[in-house]
Chain A
Amino acid sequence: MMRYKRFFLQLIIILLFIGLVGILINNLIINLIRTDLGFNFYWLLKPASFALSEHALPFSPSDSYAWALLIGWINSLKVILFSLIFSTILGIIIGLSRTSKNILIKKISSFYITFIRQTPLLLQLMFWYFVGFLGLKNKFINFSNILKINTQGIEFFGLSLTPEFSALFIGLSVFTSAFIGEVIRGGIISVEKGQWESFRSLGLSERDGLIKVIIPQALPAIIPGLTSQYLNLAKNSTLAIAIGYSDIYAINDTIINQTGRAIECFIILLLTFLILNLSITNLMEKINKLINKKQIYIN
């Protein structure tokens, strides 16, 4: 009796769900017919007829929309990868200084974390772009031709980065590093106090103990938090549109403004983000497995 009841309950829920989706799709079709757009992906092959200032592969306005989307993806991946590396380095430094014994360092890093976490990322990005780069005007920083920072962006060992990219890269890295710092601090705290005492009593130096004893044990607690911060970083990179960096979202937005193909572009955006999310999660899981294997080996 109970089983039938459960079965029918689920059937009703499915029917309700299908009905709701059906109504929405029906509305959508009516609206699409009314606006004379329809639903197809043939427009992807038409010329994009907009210019992009930032492109890793050759791009001209006569290239197709599909090519423009690919360029957007490369731009997105570029900024995600750069900030991922830099924010991890910065985050480790901040996380370690949060656990430092030096009160000055501890206070500064904790102020950094609270301040960064309690102001919106969008505001920070605008600050970096409008004040940090465009606000430089005539002033610029030049370290004997190795590192140049001016309104044209950053030039580092001949590798020149546009101001949009640099602002986004720095903004994302600084924002994410505050969160990564907290994750790393949490991981280090999760290691038992006895471990610290025992490596000291064995005569290991602070630095050796940290690298050889504490961090390997903290890693299993750090990796999941790190994964979610990396996912957030990837998602937050879509704020590029606010400072005019042509990432995947900005290019989708431009295409929608030009062609009105909102539904198709939205589907493309969702699919690509799903793929990106899955690949980051899988990669981190593999790293996690690798670490756990090593852990067993050490033990």
Chain B
Amino acid sequence: MYLKKINKNFKKFREILLLNSLNNFLTIILVFAIFITFLQTFNWLIVNSKWTAVTTNIPLFVFGTFPEDQRWRPFIWIMSLLTICFLSIVPPKWKWLRKNLLIAWIGMIPLGIFLLYGGFGIQTVMSRNFGGLTLTILLTVCSSMFALPIGIGLAFCRQSSLFVVKKLSSIYIDSMRAVPLIAVLFFGQLLIPLFLPLGLEIDSVWRAIFAFTLFVSAYIAEDIRGGLQAIPHTQIESAKSLGLNHLQIIRFILIPQSLRIALPALTNQVIGLFQNTSLMSILGLVELLGIGRSILANPKFIGQYIEVYIWLASVYWIICTLLALMAKYLEKRLKIA
């Protein structure tokens, strides 16, 4: 009885794997290659790898050179971000909390600035001490939160019936999308000070956030525009016939629907932004990749390139995968509602 079942399963397995002679050949080669790769990797992991560069520097990777006795501050901020992410995915039972989720999200930025920079009773920390995952998250959260409303605004401007508004916003969007990100970041770091009046200075973290916002908002605008175009025109007509005015149509009909349609694209933008914050390591901020680079430059950890890169890649990979899963879950939930 059992044998028959196993035999049947085996046959099915064979049918799937070994479709024809070419596939037969490919499967065998691939299995062989995977086996060798696993063996080599295993051998390297057991015998040759040295993880001291990673294991002794975990706090550095997470907090950068943030003062040691103050590290609870970024920790609290990251934890509250995680909590609010969780709350947005799994909606809480309390209605007041659900209604104020947006305000809570917006409140994350001032909270983060307060906790990281200090002041008002807690010790102030200079922005040059920010680093590691904390800085990466700060850049991602602030830039995406600023870029979303600007992007929505630009998308509506591009659809506007006013010629000037339409032209200006489309020139902005198209030129931003034609330029490499590193050029925009470079603009943020070196050229913004030239455009500011004498005496006014912005610190480099905020210049980076500004540059990321400029760049990402153009991409978000195009995604939202795609969402707007997918909304059937009859919806606007029916809203008009119900007596809604222009602003009400935008607020209740167009924005929620276009956001829902554009959600997958927007998630990709946030994931892309999270990865692209690594470019700041070329331009002088020590975020996650920058910390990795400076640790590798330390003669104590010489030659541990593979270990550090694997560690960094897995951190980026895990966070990006979590973001993607979150978005997928949210998408599913919004579709049912």
Mark A residues whose CB is within 8 Å of B: 6, 9-10, 13-14, 17, 24, 27-28, 30-32, 34, 101-105, 108, 114-115, 117-123, 126-127, 130-131, 135, 231, 235-236, 238-239, 241-242, 249, 253, 256, 262-263, 266, 269-270, 273-274, 277
Contact = CB atoms under 8 A, between A and B. Distances in A.
20 contacts: A10-B162, A13-B168, A28-B195, A101-B23, A104-B30, A105-B26, A108-B34, A114-B321, A122-B279, A123-B278, A123-B289, A123-B312, A126-B293, A130-B296, A130-B305, A238-B183, A239-B282, A241-B282, A270-B179, A273-B180
A135 B305 contact: yes
Contacts of A13: 162, 164-165, 168
Nearest to B274: A120
Nearest to B323: A118
Given A122-B289, A266-B191, A270-B179, A102 B168 contact: no
Contact of B194 (A28, A103, A127, A131): A28
Interface in B315-336: 316-317, 320-321, 324
A236 B179 CA distance: 10
A35 B182 CA distance: 25
Given A10-B163, A266-B183, A119 B194 contact: no
A266 B27 contact: no
B182 A249 contact: yes
A247 B187 CA distance: 18
Interface residues of B, number: 51
> What are the 4 A-B residue pairs with the smallest beta carbon separation, nearest first?
A118-B320, A235-B180, A120-B275, A10-B164
A120 B276 contact: yes
Nearest to A26: B197
Contacts of B281: 122
Nearest to A24: B195
A11 to B, nearest CB: 8
Contacts of B324: 118
B45 interface: no
Contacts of B39: none
Contacts of A266: 183, 186-187, 191
B6 interface: no
A104 B27 contact: yes
B94 to A, nearest CB: 34
B165 A10 contact: yes
Contacts of B320: 117-119
Contacts of B279: 122, 239
Contacts of A17: 168
